[in-house]
Structure 1
Amino acid sequence: MNATTTRGVLLTALACVLVGASFTANSVLGDYPYAGGQFLRYGLACLLLFPLAGRGTAARLRALGPRRWARLALLAAVGMVGFNLAVLAAERSAEPAVPGVFVGCAPVVVAVVVPLLEGRRPQRAVLYGALLVAAGACVVQGWGRTDGAGIAFSGCALVGEVGFAVLAVPVLRPLGPRLLSATVCGLAALQSAAAGALLDGAAWLRRPNSVESAALLWQAVVVTVVGFVCWYMGMQRIGAERATLFSGLIPVAAACTAPLAGTGSYGPAQAAGSALVAAGVALGSGALRAVGRPRGPGRADGRLGANAPTGRERPAAGVVGPGGPAPREDLPAGPTGR
Structure 2
Amino acid sequence: MERWKGMLYLFGAFTLAGTSVITAWLLNGKLGAFTITAISLLLALMILVPMRLQALVRTLRRRAGTNWRQLLLQAVFGMFLFRMFMLFGLSHTSAAEAGIITGATPAITVVLASLVLKERVNRFSLLGIASTVSGIILIQGLFSQDYSFTVQHLIGNVLVLCAASSESVFNILSRMSSTKNDGRSQQPVDPVVQTTLVSAIAFLLCLIPAGFEHPLRSLAGIAWEEWLALIWYGPFVTALAFVFWYAGIRRCDASTAAAFSGMMPFTALVLSVVLLGQRAGVEQWAGGLLVAGGMVLIGVNQKRIGGERNIGKSGLNLNTAKRT
- TM-score category by the smaller chain? 0.7 to 0.9
Q: 1:241 aligns with which of 255, 258, 266?
A: 255
Structure 2 counterpart of 1:161: 167
Q: What does the per-residue CA deviation read over 1:10-58, in whole Å, with 9 as the maximum and x for residues that have no partner? A: 3222222222234333232121232222112111212222344486432
Q: 2: CA distance between counterparts of 1:160 and 1:289? A: 25
Does the residue aligned with 2:151 lie in a helix, a strand or coil? coil
Q: Which of 18, 34, 58 matches 2:16?
A: 18
Deviations along 1:259-315, one digit per CA (max 9) or x if unpaired, are 32233136655655555455444443348957xx79xxxxxxxx98xxx72449xxx
Seq. identity, %: 25
- Answer yes or no: is 1:264 the counterpart of 2:278: yes
Q: Provide, for residues 227-259 of structure 1, a one-character-per-residue CA deviation record: whole Å limited to 9, x for no partner.
A: 112222222222223202322322221221223
Match of 1:231 among 245, 255, 259: 245
Native 8 Å contact 2:99 2:268 kept in 1: no
Unaligned runs of 5+ in 2: 143-148, 182-187, 318-324
**Are residues 1:72 and 2:71 paired?**
yes
The whole-number CA distance in structure 2 between the counterparts of 1:132 and 1:183 is: 37
Query: Equivalent residue for 2:177?
Result: 171
Post-superposition offset of 1:108: 2.3
Contact 1:93/1:146, CA 8 A, preserved across alignment: no
Distance 2:223 2:77 in 1: 29
Query: How far did 1:183 drift?
Result: 1.0
Q: Is the 8 A contact 1:196 1:204 kept in 2?
A: no
Q: Normalising by structure 1, report the TM-score.
A: 0.71
Q: Do the aligned residues in 1 keep the contact of 2:99 with 2:264 (CA within 8 Å)?
A: no
- Check conservation: 2:96, 2:268, Cα contact below 8 A: no
1:206 partner amino acid = L
Q: Which residue of 1 aligns with 2:82?
A: 83
Bigger RCO (CA 8 Å, 6+ sep): 2
Give the number of the structure whose residues are more often helix, by fraction.
Answer: 2
In the alignment, residue 9 of structure 2 is paired with which amino acid?
L
2:58 is paired with a residue of what secondary structure? helix
CA shift at 1:185, angstroms? 0.9
1:251 and 2:269 matched: no
Q: CA deviation digits over 1:128-153, x for unaligned, max 9?
A: 44544555566678678336865764
Question: Which whole-Å deviations, capped at 9, do the CAs of 1:80-119 have from their partners, x for residues lacking one?
Answer: 1222222333455566677666643332232122333235
Q: TM-score, normalised by structure 2?
A: 0.74
Q: Unpaired runs of 5+ in structure 1? A: 295-302, 313-338
Cα distance change on mapping 1:29 and 1:288 into 2, 3 Å: closer
For 2:15, the aligned partner's letter is: V
Report the count of equivalent residues: 297
